[in-house]
Amino acid sequence: MAALFLSIGDLTALAVDALVNAANPTLLSGGGVDGAIHRAAGPALLDACRALPETAPGVRCPPGEARLTPGFALRARVVVHTVGPVWRGGGDGEPGVLAACYRSSLALARQAGARSIAFPAIGCGVYGYPYAEAVHVALAELRAAMDLQIVLCPFDARGAMHYRAAAAALHIALREDRLPS
């Protein structure tokens, strides 16, 4: 059985097979996690994203879905791009869309042969999803994916606190002693 790991810090530095990008629908880079991943992967990532077909004008990945590209200069072999929901108070289907982000990302990572995957807190940046609610949705989805080594990578101690609280509420063990090798 695999494990859930908690690693505070730079998502782009992790040695995992798949790295999840909290992207925008264009997949053409943005701020936050998305911008950091694009900077670390190099310009070839933007070229690969541009090559993905649009599903609607300006949309390469609708919210809740995921797309796959190589990792290029990242330590991760592949990047799974997913688009979280914009928080509108919770009554507009946001939890279902966020859960779909995790399911879609896991499915693509498995298809790519990944045995390890790292996630940021999808939707918690500019999209405004409240951290405590978002990580609860994330952990509820990820606990069923224990065939993979999963690394949860909050940017700071405050984010880690939310993961620990959600894990305790859901009776999920988080490991912080070492990352998967």
Per-residue confidence at 181, pLDDT binned at 50, 70, 90?
Answer: low
Is 92 one of the catalytic residues?
Answer: no
pLDDT score at 179: 63
Q: How does DSSP classify residue 140?
A: H
* Predicted model pTM: 0.96
The DSSP 8-state label assigned to residue 90 in this structure reads: S
- What does DSSP say about strands 78-82 and 4-6: parallel, antiparallel, or unpaired? unpaired
CA atoms of 141 and 118, how far apart (whole Å):
14
Q: Which of 10, 34, 156, 177 is catalytic?
A: 34
Note the pLDDT of residue 66: 98
How do beta strands 174-175 and 78-82 pair? unpaired
| Cβ-based neighbour number of residue 81 at 10 Å | 28
pLDDT interval class at 1 (50, 70, 90)? very low
What span, in angstroms and rounded, lies between the C-alpha atoms of 83 and 113?
22
CATH code of the region 4-175: 3.40.220.10
Please report, for the chain, the start and end positions of each structural domain, with discontinuous segments joined by +: 4-175
Q: Tokens in use for 154?
A: 């909050």
